Amino acid sequence: MILDPRVPAGNPSTAWARRTSQYRLVSPANRRRMTVIVVGTGLAGSGAAAALGELGYNVECFTFHDAPRRAHSVAAQGGINAARARKVDGDSLARFVIDTIKGGDFRGREADVVRLASESVRVIDHLQAIGAPFAREYGGQLATRSFGGVQVSRTYYTRGQTGQQLQVAAAQALLRQVARGTVNLHTRTEMLDLVVADGRAQGIVSRNLVTGEVDFTPAHAVVLATGGYGSVYFHSTLAMNSNATATWRAHRRGALFASPSFVQFHPTALPVSSKWQSKTTLMSESLRNDGRIWVPERPGDNRAPGDIPEEERDYYLERRYPAFGNLTPRDIASRAARDEIEAGRGVGPLRNSVYLDFRDAIARLGRDTIEERYGNLFDMYLDVTGEDPYTQPMRIAPGAHFTMGGLWSDYDQMTTIPGLFVGGEAGHNYHGANRLGANSLLSACVDGWFTLPLSVPNYLAALVGSEPIDLDAPEAVQAMREVEARVQRLSTNDGTVRPVEFHRRLGEVLYQGVGVSRTDAGLREAREKVVALREEFWRDVRVAGPADRLNQELEKAGRVADFLELAELMVLDALDRTESCGAHYREEYALPDGEAARDDEKWCNVSAWETTADGAHIRHLEELTFDLVPLAVRNYR
Amino acid sequence: MRVEIEVWRQDSPEADGRFETHVVEDATPEMSLLELLDRLNDQLAEGGVEPIQFESDCREGACGACGVTVNDTPHGPVPQTPSCRQHLRAFGPGRGGSPNLDSGSSASANLDLGSLLKLRIEPLRSAAFPVVRDLVVDRSSLDRLIQAGGHVDVTTGTAPDADDLLIGHDDAELALDFAACIGCGACVAACPNGAAHLFAGAKLAHLALLPHGKLERTRRAGAVVDQLDGEFGPCSSYGECVEVCPAGIPLTAVAAVHREKLRAAFRR
């Protein structure tokens, strides 16, 4: 099947304005009779729920957290891009589109990126207004900085805690609607299934994590803003509770899953250095503005970094990519780091990292300036490692971070199930095969505040006057039974191994097989291992404790079970796509200089997967066309 | 290294709680407090005991989900650091948990690996935070404060250009000092009175410094203070809250509650 993204025909630059002027509307009096479910309270979820609530819809909002502010958007550090283009550094809306499309290695949807760029301007205005204190110049104007993959300065920030500030502001805006009674917020409640009836998404089945109660909530439309699945790798920069269950369950109900193998490995994560380490902490990419990345020239050099003279250091990014230097896009920086580590030039006790050095920046700008720019990141580094980055270089390594893949959606953010919408990292459309830094907060905010509140009502307009599905509708009863049976099966399985152990082992398989680089043989092996691990899981998982009260083992088991299904699809997609593009690097498909070799003849498209009821996988395609940014080989030299 | 952990177990909000004692033999100085609990849970599961329920999410100190009381101190012995960022290398031996504060650079060298570390781990304790299970508490009272007035009344799409509203560099930075709050609730747990003035004051001070929030400043102060008085204890300016705050919220946040309240009273 060839998928139609329903992009407005004609000039992509004006597509969004034309589309919004054609959207059908719902009158204010009818809005309160219509229910929209929003799952997730990150930037996309809080934004969509708050904005739809402000418009007067009856919003049911779900989060598995105890408070909306905890959603993982909170952990983003560096900033949010906006094509405001106020300076004379050559930035423009067009430049933003070029950077994003090129950064994504021509595997994103151009029209969606244009929308992202044009709405980015008022995103900053709105977030500032609802309480995010963006960094300011002494003249009182908004301050900006640069991020990887661009040569202009368009990233707005609040110290190293931009995500936190935006997320707290978004959660406040959401709670304002809770106080007004337009949003009904369900905390500590996890979505476990989607209810599809008459071919439309009509509600969700959720489990109250405190009481164990399984419930059905009907609605006219459902928005999933449940984040990415990078935590499938176990050691990742994601939060402990981040998971793929909501999107995966929707996928099993028929929503196609796009580009599951497109995973970004963040070049400035902290290396794994002990067996008990529970995650790989992220250090913001903004550090690459002032930090210089290097390794010793000689493999196995055991000297302390300060003892290695300048001429024996290899600033390999500056050497290989002189135009962008330390600010090359993430996929390239991660691959380059992996090359150095594999060549034996890695540093640190396990030789699995590279240096990120601030010596020169401190000498040039002074310690105070560096402290103001990155103070909390430096503190965090000291906490995690016990090493002081003001006096010795940081050690960094690629870590699983952001998933460009997600539920496939059309230009209106609607998935292949009518009435099921997607926002933020749970979706797929902007970032192609590699996301640029600071575009993630932006896409979540644009989806939540400025796309879904327009496109969801267009869908609802056709349903005005209809009641939500009955609580005892057969589809709802069936979905609830299935959820209850699954919970029962997990919690009574006669096994011996904790769910977290399966997760750890799955992560090892995935880093090995579907990591920074992939090969045909490695992927085939990974697939076998994933399938075997999944069988072992269902045979031997043990969930201690009962299902009728707070039970984190049970929560984890359900999430790992879904990861084990998703992982197979990730491997399959990586195996199927016989080209290298962005973060998807197949060693068989490389240019003579080692850079990714795209195959635009065959693969200038998005793979969107269907998983049938019996577990078979079918690949569909959306063809990509580029009108504003001509297809070209990426060049950051 | 060997760590003896006395840990709070409680099956449900209604049930009585109790301490259980366990020993982790293979703890390491690099472990965070939460990784120690991870390790203990592995051990418990192997022995057929149900793992300890505790909250954590980002494990980077941004989300505010984690927070346990260690040897009577919310978050643990290292001042102004969330539980997820407290590492065993910084803990001194013995019950007092006096942290080895300058252990940063030469971490394990300062730690006597043969010694026994004793930790008593329990939930954040406050009347405003009922225990849900084991180390997990219900902190929704904090969200009710935000709901009462800790927000700005701006409808999506109506904001003026953020570059047209000048905000001084230092004002923005000061607003950020207050906005840095991660909502963990340690301040409330540390307070002998169970007051939430540091949390509420941080929000009031943050929003009072920004132009958009200024017009509703009076109304906001009234609503937040009413909610504060209704669910939390009174503030006696002990300053215990500041000692444990992982976001470094200054004591002036507490003063902001009084200032905003007074200001609102005169303007009513």
For every residue of A60-79, which 3-state class applies, written as one string? EEECCCCCHHHCHHHHCCCC
**C-alpha–C-alpha distance, residues A444 and A96, integer Å:** 17
Mean pLDDT of A151-169: 94
Mean pLDDT of A80-103: 95
pLDDT above 70 as % of chain A: 100
Pick from A375, A35, A363, A7: nearest CA to A183: A35
CA torsion angle for B85, A560, A168, A36 (degrees, to 10)? -170
Cα distance from B175 to chain A (closest Cα, Å)? 7
A309's CB contacts (< 8 A; 6+ apart) are none
pLDDT band at B114 (very low <50, low <70, confident <90, very high): low
pLDDT band at A146 (very low <50, low <70, confident <90, very high): confident
Q: Which amino acid is at B1?
A: M
**B84 CA to centre of own chain:** 11
Are residues A550 and B133, on separate chains, in Cβ contact within 8 Å?
yes
Architecture of domain B140-267: Orthogonal Bundle (1.10)
The closest CB to that of A51, out of B81, B156, B213, belongs to B156
Give the sheet arrangement for strand A394-403, strand by strand: A263-269, A394-403, A354-357, A292-296, A313-314
Instruction: List the single range of A368-382, A573-587, B129-143 with lowest mean pLDDT.
Output: A368-382
Are residues A134 and B172, on separate chains, in Cβ contact within 8 Å?
yes
Are residues A66 and B65, on separate chains, in Cβ contact within 8 Å?
yes
Q: Which residues pair with A218 in a beta bridge?
A: A203
The closest CB to that of A67, out of B143, B165, B179, belongs to B143
The one catalytic residue in A330, A518, A527, A577 is A330
Residue A451 in contact with partner chain B when CB distance is under 8 A? no
- DSSP H stretches of helix in chain B: 33-46, 140-149, 169-179, 186-190, 197-208, 211-214, 217-231, 240-244, 252-267
Token digits of residue A288: 């690459």
**C-alpha–C-alpha distance, residues B36 and A278, integer Å:** 10
pLDDT band at B95 (very low <50, low <70, confident <90, very high): very low
Phi, psi for residue A422 in degrees, rounded to 5: -140, 145
Vertex A500 angle, CA A495 and A504, to 5°: 115
**C-alpha–C-alpha distance, residues A288 and B48, integer Å:** 47
pLDDT at residue A549 tops 60 = yes
Are residues A158 and B133, on separate chains, in Cβ contact within 8 Å?
no
pLDDT at A374: 87
Q: Is A330 a catalytic residue?
A: yes
pLDDT at B93: 56
| A231-255 pLDDT tens trace | 999 999 999 999 999 999 999 999 9
pLDDT band at A63 (very low <50, low <70, confident <90, very high): very high
Q: Enumerate the residues of chain B whose CB falls inside 8 A of the CB of residue A445.
A: none
Residue A184 in contact with partner chain B when CB distance is under 8 A? no
Between the CA of residue B213 and those of A129, A460, A484, what are the distances in Å? 8, 34, 46
> In chain B, what are the domain boundaries?
2-123, 140-267
Pick from A330, A324, A508: nearest CA to A433: A330
pLDDT at residue A389 tops 60 = yes
Q: Enumerate the residues of chain B whose CB falls inside 8 A of the CB of residue A67.
A: 64, 139-140, 142-143, 183
Q: Enumerate the residues of chain A whose CB falls inside 8 A of the CB of residue B48.
A: 544
Are residues B212 and A130, on separate chains, in Cβ contact within 8 Å?
yes
Mean pLDDT of A155-178: 96
Chain A interface disruption, residue of B151, B170, B206, most A CBs within 10 A: B151
pLDDT at B105: 37
pLDDT above 90 as % of chain A: 92
pLDDT at B98: 46
A318's CB contacts (< 8 A; 6+ apart) are A292, A325, A326
In A, residues 458-517, which contact B (CB 8 Å cutoff)? 498, 500
pLDDT at B268: 65
Pick from A450, A419, A492: nearest CA to A224: A419
pLDDT at residue B96 tops 70 = no
Cα distance from A13 to chain B (closest Cα, Å)? 21
Are residues B105 and A386, on separate chains, in Cβ contact within 8 Å?
yes
Q: Enumerate the residues of chain A whose CB falls inside 8 A of the CB of residue B34.
A: 278
pLDDT at B103: 41
Of all residues in chain A, the one with the smallest CA distance to B51 is: A544
* CB contact at 8 A, A285 and A330: yes
* DSSP per-residue letters across B81-126: --GGG-BGGGPPSSTT----GGGSTTGGGGS-TTSEEEEEEEEPP-
pLDDT at residue B127 tops 60 = yes
Judge residue A438's burial from the number of C-beta atoms within 10 Å of its C-beta, 0-12 exposed, 13-18 middle, 19 or more buried: buried
pLDDT at residue B202 tops 80 = yes
Q: Which amino acid is at A299?
A: P
DSSP state of A395: E
Strand A35-39 with A221-224, pairing: parallel
**C-alpha–C-alpha distance, residues A181 and A385, integer Å:** 46
Strongest mean pLDDT among A326-330, A443-447, B112-116: A443-447
**C-alpha–C-alpha distance, residues B205 and B181, integer Å:** 11
Token digits of residue A537: 């899981």
Chain A interface disruption, residue of B88, B105, B143, most A CBs within 10 A: B143
* DSSP per-residue letters across A262-315: -EEEEEEEPPP-STT-----B--GGGGGT-EEEEESSTT--S-GGGS-GGGEE-
Mean pLDDT, rounded, of chain A: 96
**C-alpha–C-alpha distance, residues A367 and A355, integer Å:** 19
Mean pLDDT of B82-105: 65
Are residues A384 and B132, on separate chains, in Cβ contact within 8 Å?
no
The label of the residue with tokens 């805006």 reads A173
The closest CB to that of B85, out of A133, A279, A383, belongs to A383
pLDDT at residue B263 tops 90 = yes
pLDDT above 70 as % of chain B: 91
Q: Enumerate the residues of chain B whose CB falls inside 8 A of the CB of residue A449.
A: 156-157
Token digits of residue A219: 């609605």
In A, residues 45-74, which contact B (CB 8 Å cutoff)? 47, 50-51, 54, 65-70, 72, 74
Q: Enumerate the residues of chain A whose CB falls inside 8 A of the CB of residue B31.
A: 274, 276
Token digits of residue A29: 């009096």
Token digits of residue A109: 């949807």
Between the CA of residue A527 and those of A1, A18, A288, what are the distances in Å? 25, 45, 35
Pick from B197, B201, B202, B152: nearest CA to B178: B202
Q: What's chain A's Rg over C-alpha atoms?
A: 24
Are residues A139 and B105, on separate chains, in Cβ contact within 8 Å?
no
Between the CA of residue A131 and those of A172, A445, B264, what are the distances in Å? 9, 14, 20
CA torsion angle for B217, B219, B224, B225 (degrees, to 10)? 100
pLDDT at B102: 42
Q: In B128-165, which positions are buried (b, 16+ CB within 10 angstroms) versus exposed (e)?
A: bbebbbbbbbbbbbbbbbbbbbbbbebebeebeebeeb
* CB contact at 8 A, A120 and A81: yes
Are residues B169 and A178, on separate chains, in Cβ contact within 8 Å?
no
pLDDT band at A147 (very low <50, low <70, confident <90, very high): confident
Instruction: Delineate the domains of chain A, giving CATH numbers in brackets.
Output: 267-400 (3.90.700.10), 474-603 (1.20.58.100)
CB atoms within 10 A of CB A322: 10
pLDDT at residue A403 tops 60 = yes
Question: Per 3-state DSSP, what percentage of chain A is helix, strand, and coil (rounded to 5)?
Answer: 40, 20, 40
**C-alpha–C-alpha distance, residues A565 and A583, integer Å:** 22
Mean pLDDT of A421-442: 97
Pick from B182, B201, B175: nearest CA to B82: B182
CATH (residue range B2-123) = 3.10.20.30
Dump strand ranges (E) for A385-451: 394-403, 406-407, 420-422
pLDDT at A383: 83
Residue A350 in contact with partner chain B when CB distance is under 8 A? no
Cα distance from A125 to chain B (closest Cα, Å)? 5
CB atoms within 10 A of CB B238: 14
In A, residues 140-169, which contact B (CB 8 Å cutoff)? 140-142, 158-159, 161, 163-165, 168
pLDDT at A243: 98
Residue A615 in contact with partner chain B when CB distance is under 8 A? no
Q: How many beta-carbon pairs under 8 angstroms link A with B? A: 225
Dump strand ranges (E) for A226-276: 257-258, 263-269
Q: Enumerate the residues of chain B whose CB falls inside 8 A of the CB of residue A68.
A: 143
pLDDT at residue B210 tops 50 = yes
**C-alpha–C-alpha distance, residues B39 and B54, integer Å:** 13
Q: Enumerate the residues of chain B whose CB falls inside 8 A of the CB of residue A159.
A: 176
| B19-58 pLDDT tens trace | 999 999 999 998 999 999 999 999 999 998 999 999 999 9
In A, residues 228-267, which contact B (CB 8 Å cutoff)? 239-241
Of all residues in chain A, the one with the smallest CA distance to B82 is: A383
pLDDT at residue A508 tops 50 = yes
Mean pLDDT of B56-67: 96
**C-alpha–C-alpha distance, residues A377 and B71, integer Å:** 28
**C-alpha–C-alpha distance, residues A556 and A502, integer Å:** 10
pLDDT at residue B99 tops 60 = no
Are residues A453 and B212, on separate chains, in Cβ contact within 8 Å?
no
Q: Enumerate the residues of chain B whose CB falls inside 8 A of the CB of residue A387.
A: 104-105
Are residues B50 and A164, on separate chains, in Cβ contact within 8 Å?
no
Residue A124 in contact with partner chain B when CB distance is under 8 A? yes
DSSP state of A440: H
pLDDT at residue A609 tops 90 = yes
| A515-546 pLDDT tens trace | 999 999 999 999 999 999 999 999 999 999 99
Chain B interface disruption, residue of A63, A136, A281, A373, most B CBs within 10 A: A136
Query: Which ipTM value was assigned to this complex?
Result: 0.94
pTM beyond 0.90, yes or no: yes
Q: Which residues pair with A201 in a beta bridge?
A: A196
Judge residue B50's burial from the number of C-beta atoms within 10 Å of its C-beta, 0-12 exposed, 13-18 middle, 19 or more buried: middle
